[in-house]
Amino acid sequence: MTLRNLRNALIVMGAFLALIWILQVVNVADHYQLDQEYGIVPRNVGRLGDIFTAPFLHASWDHIEGNSVPLFVLGVAAAYRGLVRFFAVTLIVAITSGLAVWLFQGGSAVTIGASGIIFGYFGYVLVRGIFDRNWLDILVGLLAAAAYYSILAVAIPGTPGISWLAHLGGLVGGVAAGWALRSSGQHGLAMWPARGAKAAPVAGPGPAGTPSAGSPAGGSQDVADLMRDLKNMGL
């Protein structure tokens, strides 16, 4: 992780929040017609594409206020590794959350809101470090779990007025995205070496631009990059 990646994550999530709040103002002025026109309607083939628009819409000021902080925090936590990966996670989560509602929601009530995306980011942040074998990401996942574990209560049936299917679909999508988008090769720490394996010898410095054996990787390299960026900024 670098300060540039963190800055980009903050900018993207700030823009996301700004967009949904602007849409909320327009929605209120139009007596919530956007919800009716672009929300998810179960098993309506002509409205299938609305799984991508429903997360931007909310049913009330309380609804959007309740979603804004966890959306921003978990979104930044999901995005600081890089925006290409983050957008792929968002797409996967939007599909799994939206399809869960479109396929299995009872009745014909319209479903809207960013909470399915929030649950997706939550699931992704929880498992990313495990799949990538990266200590820094595991720590971020533990912090996210400690801060937001209580939201899992609305991913189970029984909460009135809440689409638990959207939440559960998002959560499953986030975990699936963590596995599907896991780092390939030796990018993370070897957290679980094979039994009897010996540590690699530490070699001397190689040619310029070539890391020596035993050089920091994964979470250790992230910390080194972050400290270098801070030093360059005079901090």
Residue 176 lies in a domain: yes
Residue 62 lies in a domain: yes
Query: Which residues of the chain, if any, have pLDDT below 50?
Result: 186-217, 230, 233, 235
Domain that holds residue 126: 3-180
The structure's pTM equals: 0.79
pLDDT digits 0-9 by tens, 19-70: 999 999 999 999 999 999 999 999 999 999 999 999 999 999 999 999 999 9
Q: In one letter, which amino acid is 233?
A: M
Structure tokens at 53: 């628009």
> In sequence order, what are the residues at sequence separation of 6 or more whose Cβ sits closer than 8 angstroms to the Cβ of residue 36?
110
Residue 193 lies in a domain: no
Residue 212 lies in a domain: no
CA atoms within a 13 Å half-sphere pointing along the CA-CB vector of 110: 18
Total domain count for the chain? 1
Residue 225 lies in a domain: no
Residue 110 maps to which CATH number? 1.20.1540.10
Let me know: does 166 contact 100? Beta carbons within 8 Å.
Answer: yes
pLDDT computed for residue 123 by the predictor: 97
Structure tokens at 102: 């479109």
